[in-house]
Structure 1
Amino acid sequence: MTVMSGAIIAPALPGISRHFPDQPQVVIQLILTLPALMITLFSPLMGYLADRFGRKKLLLMMLGIYGFAGVAGFFIDRVDLLLSSRALMGIAVAGILSISTTLVGDYFDSTERARFLGLQSSCMALGGVIFINLGGVLSDWSWRGPFLLYLTGVLLLPYAWAILQEPISSGSVSADTNDAPVKVDVGRTGLAYLIAMISMAMFYMFPAQLPFLLSQQGQISGMAIGIALSMAALTASIVAFCYGYYKPFLSVMTIYVLGFFLAATGFLIVGFTQSYTMAIVGAAISGLGLGAFMPNTTTWLMRITPQRVRGRVFGGFTSTFFFGQFISPVMVAPALIWLDSLRHVFTAMAVICGLLAIVLIVLGKTTLKADSKL
């Protein structure tokens, strides 16, 4: 549900741009990323409500809103209304991701939790592979076609109602216990948030920018764009799925460093190549690097966050994670003016990823030496 909020309409961006020729490119890209801004704004509130009143009812409500607000894009023919429906859907996604990730912490412990977080992230990335390609096929029919896929949220409601259970501890703690102070490691939590934001901004350069980069090389179908975009999601799903298997041998910091170096390699390939095939290879390599970031960050936060405030902490995580998605096209717009080419922007991102890897190496040997053993 979360990856679908943006991924499935990415192949339709050129078609939407042609349908609204008077709108600047950055506004068209906001149709893709506006849900991320709403996720940023409303995730902390959703986390608080989940801690205060329970998980299940709120999650079911958000699934319903998601489905109806998402499919509204099929019928709307005005940019302002389209942006409004996307904003409402973003509020629903804020609840869905915050609560579902919190439930993982409620349902599972220790090694089982790490494996499930990897599975969760893998399903998100694999969903990107499936729905980006479905979106590509439907966008060849009409730019409105991909919006029909959001009905999945409504279709999932009966299953979620039947399967999910409200954790005993959530929403049932005494008032005295609720008021007791709980210590949160602000420094490490803040760093985890920052890494989540940066990694999402990097990853979302592919659905937000690659369709336009490929279109500059000549006429290209929505299906071909979908295939190119899905490669990053495919490799990300593989590395996330395997997270529970390689995590026991690698520390949190090591996984971050390796991830940034791989992402840098992929961005560098996309920035230098003129070939459609090599652009796919570059996207795939970056996906390998960035795919581990979500399960790695959630695992780190699970270990350092008390259970009673987990909803709020993961509400903040969801907020910063998707703020990265929202600012991805916003930060590229001025960079594009300065660097004059999307290819140069991808090359610059490769340099930034390399520098971030070096910074984390230094932190892992100094301030975060303890986390280098987690």
Structure 2
Amino acid sequence: MLFASTMTVMSGAIIAPALPGISRHFSDQPQVLIQLILTLPALMITLFSPLMGYLADRFGRKPLLLMMLSIYGLAGGAGFLIDSVNLLLASRALMGIAVAGILSISTTLVGDYFDGPERVRFLGLQSSCMALGGVVFINLGGLLSDWSWRGPFLLYLTGVFLLPYAWAMLKAPKLQSNEQAGHLNAPVKVDYMRTGIAYLAGMLSMMMFYMFPAQLPFLLSEQGEVSGLAIGIALSTAAFTASIVSFCYGYYKPFLSVMTIYIAGFVLAALGFLVVGLTQSYAMAIVGAAISGLGLGAFMPNTTAWLMRITPQRVRGRVFGGFTATFFLGQFISPIAVAPAVTWLESLRNVYTGMAVLCCVLAVILVILSRTLLRADSKL
């Protein structure tokens, strides 16, 4: 389940270093189509995650996960052989649908297999692997892209290689005893207000986090001549600190409530954005990215842990399908939201400073909610 979770990061990170080579090979095609090769899977994840959650609840987690692993490996690896942009985009779209199923189901299975402190620790480990996977797979993709722009697509075949192990090791989760006793058709109540707030928190955290891989290279270039290696190190810093915070989630969660972690995360993210926005130094920009990573790294395990506490098992698949959709919607809309903000605030540096202000506002709103509508969650 941990390796399957990293495949969501692999969907884009693997081929990012190969984009210049793909652009040269398809030099007669519009640049926007080349960029879609990278971003199309995120859009498919957003669109199809709710459906995957429903199918997982309706037909079972394990069969659907095995099917999605097969599609992921074959559709992703097809890029090694395809020599048409349209076919390549179609294969990337199909792979994005598979990723929607893999992340929704693997996260749902965590709630089915684990409970209590064990679940909290595993959620932290899952988020840590996803963040750290971004660092590893960007470098692997870069290494293979030096050989050929087609090389990184071979890494997607890991989905096929994982299939026999997943078939042998994963067990179909058992329903709770009261459901087995004849309550399968009883209505299930979903707390839409709290679920919606959790969705929004996940989406905002992803939108903010994605400002580093999408915008930081341009900001560093404005400060002077910066090598590709230096930019890569800066981008990896936020992902690395986020992975550490996610990994340690199970150790500090027993001492902090869900709301406290959210508030602290927004405060740390604000501090990091402020440092990046105000500094003229490459070293301090790395420090700012690291601080923001520390704040935003806790959001995914915290949100998934919260949703598992408030969601009935029978509808957990569709609830986490919705969470996956909103989470990746944050990634998709991040550059779209920043573009007009740069025009309005006159510089990318001011956008980072403005994001720090937004994080502070969100922290204050959560403080108020934790004492009113979400008073119960301030004790979870």
**TM-score between both structures, scaled by the size of structure 1:** 0.90
Aligned to 2:284: 278
- Alignment-mate amino acid for residue 32 of structure 1: L
Aligned mate of 1:179, from 175, 182, 185? 185
| Partners of 2:15 and 2:225 in 1: CA distance | 20
In the other structure, the counterpart of 2:312 is: 306
Q: Which residue identity is paired with 1:207? A: P
Percent identity for Structure 1 against Structure 2: 80
Q: Which whole-Å CA distance do the structure 1 matches of 2:275 and 2:29 have between them?
A: 31
Gaps of 5+ in 2: 1-6
Q: How does 1:1-374 map to 2 (within 5 A)?
A: 1-12=7-18, 29-76=35-82, 79-169=85-175, 177-216=183-222, 217-218=224-225, 220-221=227-228, 223-374=229-380
Distance in 2 (alpha carbons) for counterparts of 1:28 and 1:210: 21
2-structure distance, mates of 1:241, 1:306: 26
Change over 3 Å in CA distance of 1:333–1:233 after alignment to 2: same
CA distance in structure 1 between the aligned counterparts of 2:35 and 2:208, rounded to whole angstroms? 15
Which amino acid is the alignment partner of residue 70 of structure 2? G
Q: CA offsets, 1:93-116, max 9 Å, x none? A: 110011001111111111111111
Normalised to the residue count of structure 2, the TM-score between the two structures is 0.88
**Structure 1 residues 303-340: Cα deviation after superposition (integer angstroms, max 9, x where no partner):** 11111111111111111111111111221222233334
Distance 1:71 1:224, change over 3 A: farther
Contact 1:251-1:371 at 8 Å conserved across structures: yes
Q: Point out the more displaced range, 112-121 or 83-92.
A: 83-92
Q: Is the 8 A contact 1:136 1:224 kept in 2?
A: no
Distance of aligned partners of 1:139 and 1:193 in 2 relative to their CA distance in 1, 3 Å threshold: same
Counterpart secondary structure, 1:3: helix
How big is each residue's C-alpha offset from its partner over 1:104-143, in whole Å with a ceiling of 9 and x where there is no partner?
1111111111111111111111212211222344445555
State the shift of 1:22 in Å.
8.1
Deviation of 1:270 after TM superposition, in Å, equals 2.4
Q: Cα gap change, 1:344/1:17 in structure 2, threshold over 3 Å: closer, same or farther?
A: farther
Number of positions where the alignment pairs a residue of Structure 1 with one of Structure 2: 371
C-alpha separation in 1, matches of 2:30 and 2:343: 14
Go from structure 1 to structure 2 and tell me whether the alpha carbon gap of 1:72 and 1:342 turns closer, same or farther (over 3 Å shift): farther
Partner SS for 1:196: helix
| Structure 1 residues 239 and 324, CA gap change in structure 2 (3 angstroms) | same
CA distance in 2, matches of 1:272, 1:13: 31
Question: For residues 204 and 371 of structure 1, what CA distance do their matches in structure 2 show?
Answer: 27
Question: Quick one: structure 1 residues 343 and 265, their matched pair in 2 at CA, closer, same or farther if it must change by over 3 Å?
Answer: same
| Residue identity in the other structure for 2:286 | I
Residue type of the alignment partner of 1:66: Y
Instruction: State the alpha-carbon separation in 1 of the partners of residues 285 and 155 from structure 2.
Output: 27
The offset of 1:83, in angstroms, is 3.3
Which stretch shifts more, 173-182 or 57-66? 173-182
For the aligned residues, what is the CA RMSD? Answer: 2.6
**Compared CA separation, residues 362 and 26, structure 1 to 2 (3 A):** farther
Aligned-partner SS, 1:188: helix
2:4 maps to what in 1?
none
User: What CA distance in whole angstroms lies between the structure 1 residues aligned with 2:219 and 2:30?
Assistant: 16
Q: Could you report, residue by residue, the CA deviation over 1:4-45 in whole angstroms, capped at 9, with x for unpaired residues? A: 122333445566567667888776554433222211111111
> Where does the alignment leave 5 or more consecutive residues of structure 1 unmatched?
none
Contact 1:184/1:305, CA 8 A, preserved across alignment: yes
Whichever residue aligns with residue 297 of structure 2, its letter is: G
